[in-house]
Amino acid sequence: MEDLVRSFTINGAYQIFRENEVGSLEVGKYADFIIIDRDIFSVDPIAIEDTKVLKTFFNGKLVYER
């Protein structure tokens, strides 16, 4: 699971040459991220498909809330 998350975050940013702007939460980078309803690292992999997005942040601002 860690490799999968990394491939969609920092490694994805690296592939499009934007690792200095996006891909991880660091000072000076865009703060685009989601808050989900479970710890996907500790649940049964089958249960991940039922994960719900609770909040979405874009450029550090809340743009969606369930």
Is this model's pTM higher than 0.85 or not? no
| Tokens describing residue 25 | 């939460």
Q: What is the percentage of the chain residues whose pLDDT exceeds 70?
A: 100
What value, to the nearest 5°, has the Cα angle with vertex 65 and ends 64 and 66? 125
**pLDDT tens for residues 4-30?**
888 889 899 999 999 999 999 999 999
Domain ranges of the chain: 1-27, 31-66
Q: What is the mean pLDDT of the chain?
A: 93
Give pLDDT, residue 8.
Answer: 87
| Tokens describing residue 50 | 């039922």
**Which phi and psi (to 5°) does residue 44 adopt?**
-60, 130
